[in-house]
Structure 1
Amino acid sequence: MLNDRSTILSLLETRRSGKPRELVGPGPTPEELERILTIAARIPDHGALTPWRFVTVADDQRDALAALLLKALEEDNSEATAAHREKEINFAHYQGQLVVLVSAPVEGHKIPVWEQQLSSGAAGMNLLLAAHALGYVAGWVTGWRAYSETVRAAFCGPGERIAGFIFVGHPSRELDDRERPDLQAVAQAWTPPER
């Protein structure tokens, strides 16, 4: 059991994000993707509302995604250049598996929307961890696309939002590890208020 704990801790201590534009394929097999999403769904969910969804985009749907992004770009940015359009075509064709994480809170429920949004974020984090555990690298991005009404409408229902585009593949180079926060700056003991 001690070795299992050591392995799990090592997994948590070594997870890093990859830049989606730098990932290479192949992405996970259908069986691996099912396992990743099953693990991603094992998160805190107050009220068992499942206030999130995973939308997978297949390789043969990437041209359709590019067309959607170009349409949204034209609507959102009348001054978009050829370079902007090329960037969207490239984004749609990043290698690996694309999973769109959708935040789908249940409005008017006794569980606050904020808690439901946190649950969606936890699902995204579990997805990254599950991909890492299976030997993949994942990158979670948002950008203007996540906030475009045209793109949102293509993935979401009423009241839902895109929480992120998560690409799962392999690194094309050694991953850089970003500087992590100083624990002393982000963790502290509680001081009770004076009476």
Structure 2
Amino acid sequence: MTNDSQTLANDAALDFLLSRRSRPFKTLIAPAPTRDELMSLLTAAARTPDHGKLEPWRFVVIEKAAMPRLAELTAQAGVRLGKSDEDITKGRAQFDLGQLAVVVVEVHKESEKVPAIEQSYSAGAACLALLNAALAAGWGANWLSGWASHDRIFCQQAFALQDNERVAGIVHIATQRATPPERPRPELSDLTTWMQE
């Protein structure tokens, strides 16, 4: 490592990333972040890589009082889509049990320089940045989606999404009741190719 690299190193941040672990949403309990606390996390999420400075994402904050409406809309969508009772129960659980969540909405913007797929990647990066910011701040957090978030009618009714928008992810943030055990991680030797020439 060069002297410049050592000067710029943030060992604490790297240690966090090497050990980060999402918290199952079912284990998240009150309290959730206040609006002021959440703004700090959203600020971190908005620093995600964004080719062309398009800002191809926005945030919809679901507070506790809004959760029952979304649970009911999920149930209605499940009936309309012919989902099983089990799928409906599972689909609405994130709202039945949710304390606070942030919907990261991908906003497709017309651009000659930035393809739609890169805008999708940026929205996904915003999800991960928000998740990691919440975990780094000491909150429990989990990035979910679920079948309802891919249904156009549900998304319009629930989050007022426009035709050029879709849900990239729903990040639940609250107090972690317990630290989950570590889970198996990928074998990097199976996933990594080294190019030497």
Aligned to 2:110: 107
Aligned to 2:27: 22
Aligned to 1:129: 132
Q: Distance in 2 between matches of 1:17 and 1:141?
A: 11
Q: Distance in 1 between matches of 2:118 and 2:91?
A: 32
Q: Does residue 147 of the first structure (1) align with residue 147 of the second (2)?
A: no
Structure-2-length-normalised TM-score:
0.87
Q: Does residue 180 of the first structure (1) align with residue 185 of the second (2)?
A: yes
Structure 1: any 5+ residue segments left out of the alignment?
none
Q: Distance in 1 between matches of 2:38 and 2:23?
A: 18
Q: Does residue 71 of the first structure (1) align with residue 76 of the second (2)?
A: yes
CA RMSD of aligned residues (A): 2.0
CA contact (8 A) 1:76 1:148 kept: no
Query: In 2 relative to 1, CA 73–110 (structure 1 residues): closer, same or farther, beyond 3 Å?
Result: same
CA contact (8 A) 2:91 2:146 kept: no
Structure-1-length-normalised TM-score:
0.87
Q: Distance in 2 between matches of 1:9 and 1:84?
A: 38
Aligned length: 189
Paired residue type of 1:127: L
Q: Distance in 2 between matches of 1:87 and 1:147?
A: 15
Q: Distance in 2 between matches of 1:85 and 1:181?
A: 31
Instruction: List 4+ stretches of structure 1 deviating above 6 A.
Output: none
Aligned to 1:171: 176
CA contact (8 A) 2:67 2:98 kept: no
Q: Secondary structure at the match of 1:138?
A: strand
Paired residue type of 1:135: G
Q: Distance in 1 between matches of 2:135 and 2:91?
A: 26
Paired residue type of 2:72: A
Paired residue type of 1:180: R
User: Which stretch has the larger CA shift, 67-76 or 172-181?
Assistant: 172-181
